A and B are shown apart, each in its own frame.
Chain A
Amino acid sequence: MNGPHDLGGQMGFGPVAPEKDEPYFHAEWEKRALGVTLTAGAMGAWNIDESRHARECLHPADYYASSYYEIWIKALETLLKRHDFVTANDLAAGDAVDPAATPKRVLKAENVPAVLAKGGPCDRPVEGVPLFALGQRVRTRNFHPTGHTRLPRYARGKQGVIDAVREGFVFPDSNAPGQGEDPQRVYTVVFTAGELWGEGADPSLEVSIDAWESYLEPA
């Protein structure tokens, strides 16, 4: 979707303002927000693509006014309600009022190190030869789906060159709405800044994205 998250090339947000010796957390609640998000995700009711899509579905005014942990928590409430773990009554009461769905699993403290060390690999075997070869010119598709996609707007309908042929990976566009992993091969595609940004672009700049096979057409 053309949501507030799709930020590449947008203007008006001001300077980056890096913080010297920045702490990992700026408040105690941020620690709990990280942990609640990860432990709730570990129930296995939704995948990473669905959670990303829940974040990008925040109203743009809300998204831009929120810190990243705030975005996480707001999206987490949506996911928990959608999957029947939490109700509006629970949230209004600030306590467990209604019954909850049964999770696939509950992440216990003693299992955290192993779960974090394993992560969630999303490479998958794919059949057949790659449609595109290293060095080949390609064009990204120009589409504007209302659902989740990982092809950013600034790189749609643009000509680039295959810079790396990767493995097969879970396809976010189908995985986010629960329509299956439908793995596809991923390619790193590199563009000149002139192709992406046109007049006045930095001639010394190239930008690459990682694109699923169905995002690409021969140029």
Chain B
Amino acid sequence: MSHDHHHHDHDNELDPMAARVRALETILTRKGLIDPAAIDVIVDTYETKIGPRNGARVVARAWSDPGFADWLKRDATAAIASLGYTGRQGEHMQAVFNTDETHNLVVCTLCSCYPWSVLGLPPVWYKAPPYRSRAVIDPRGVLEEFGVTLPKDKKIRVWDSTAELRYLVVPQRPGGTDGWSAEKLADLVTRDSMIGTGLAREAA
């Protein structure tokens, strides 16, 4: 969006959902039930502060520090908190590690559960019916749509987030990255590789 309708008064320009949300915000604000400035802070937090860069730092640290990787396996919530990533939709974390034998994929078939504290807000496709319906029955077909073809004998483990545990996939470390710093490694870790719909980038 090139400009912010919220601060203008041209209701006739708004599409129905924009008008509906603005009406709700107006009603709640005038009744003193919400603070619109709190909304600004929430939006800023998830636009600029909490995103997949958090998760990428967790993965890069696990790749470069076996002690941290072991901690992440045993108690992901605590290990991730040690890097400063805590809070809403990351209260109960589990890290699942891709191996030569097994590829992990995360879905929430019932709603949109997603590890916000390490990946930020989920993409639209993660919350939409095509992914939620097919990830548990045809994950190879789903992965093909992301440009990922796994060997036929590679096992796939799909984690359906039906409770309050939130899953972070730790992709396999790409070859040719020996001696790389954690910061450089983090650049190889994509959001999709931490959902399982992608792999880590190859070393350039």
Contacts and interface: CB of A to CB of B under 8 A. Distances in A.
B162 A119 contact: no
B156 A210 contact: no
B160 A36 contact: no
Interface size class of B (residues with CB under 8 A): 35 or more
Contact of A121 (B45, B92, B153): B92
A80 B33 CA distance: 11
A86 to B, nearest CB: 6
B156 A205 contact: yes
B30 A96 contact: yes
A17 B127 CA distance: 12
B164 A122 contact: yes
Interface in A10-56: 10-11, 13-19, 22, 24-29, 31-36, 38-40, 42-43, 52, 55-56
Question: Chain A interface mostly helix, strand, loop or mixed?
Answer: mixed
Contacts, number: 283
B136 A35 contact: no
Contact of A119 (B41, B90, B138): B90
A112 interface: yes
Contacts of A137: none
B160 A28 contact: no
B26 A95 contact: yes
A61 B34 CA distance: 31
Given A94-B23, A118-B87, A209 B137 contact: no
A210 B161 contact: yes
B160 A95 contact: no
B133 interface: yes
B70 to A, nearest CB: 17
A176 interface: no
A85 B90 contact: no
Contact of B131 (A16, A28, A43): A16
B34 A36 contact: yes
A39 B38 CA distance: 7
B6 A32 contact: yes
Contacts of A113: 41, 45
A13 B33 contact: no
B23 A15 contact: no
B184 interface: no
Contacts of B10: none
The residue among A16, A22, A120, A152 with the most chain B CB atoms within 10 A of its own CB is A16
B40 A109 contact: yes
Interface stretch (B13-21, B54-62, B173-181): B13-21
A73 interface: yes
B203 interface: no
B134 A32 contact: no
Interface in B51-108: 51, 86-92
Contacts of A196: 136-137
B109 A16 contact: no
A7 interface: yes
A94 B27 contact: yes
B139 A205 contact: yes
Interface of B: 1, 4-6, 14-15, 17-28, 30-35, 37-43, 45-47, 50-51, 86-92, 109-112, 117, 120-121, 123-125, 127-140, 142, 145-146, 152-165, 192, 197
17 contacts: A5-B110, A28-B4, A29-B18, A29-B22, A35-B38, A73-B24, A94-B23, A94-B27, A95-B23, A109-B41, A120-B88, A152-B162, A154-B109, A169-B92, A169-B163, A210-B163, A211-B163
Closest 3 CB pairs of A and B: A35-B39, A210-B163, A8-B109
Given A68-B112, A202-B138, 19 more contacts: A8-B133, A9-B136, A13-B134, A19-B125, A31-B47, A33-B21, A35-B40, A36-B39, A39-B28, A40-B33, A56-B110, A73-B24, A85-B31, A112-B42, A119-B89, A150-B110, A186-B164, A205-B156, A210-B162
